[in-house]
Amino acid sequence: ALDSAVGISYGLQLAASLPSLDYACGLATGQLLDADIAELPLRNGELAVHSVSPDADLLAKYAVPVERLTWWKERTKRAFYAGTETEIKARGWSW
């Protein structure tokens, strides 16, 4: 999965907290993004373990129009329902 530097920083903290880590974690996927909302530089193949917060200027720069945000929210709902509609109805849940 791809994630922003913010999400990767938390995954990195989790990975660093494990007593043993025998496999790759895929925590440098942010390098595949064209842009990010925070900085978490990869240096000599390593990421520093620390919390990263979004940069307000970058959030403003990459903000999407309301229409696109609505589209993503609806897509997320459709994906959720596609796999769980029966369970949602059985439990009496709703959006």
pTM recorded for the entire structure: 0.69
pLDDT of residue 57: 97
Contact 30, 36 (CB under 8 A): yes
Residues 6+ apart with CB under 8 A from 13: 49, 50, 51
Q: What is the pLDDT along the chain (95 residues), one digit of tens a residue?
A: 789 999 999 999 999 999 998 988 888 888 889 999 999 888 898 889 999 999 999 999 999 999 999 999 999 988 888 878 788 888 988 76
**With b meaning 16 or more CB within 10 Å and e meaning fewer, what string describes 29-43?**
ebeeeeebbbebeee
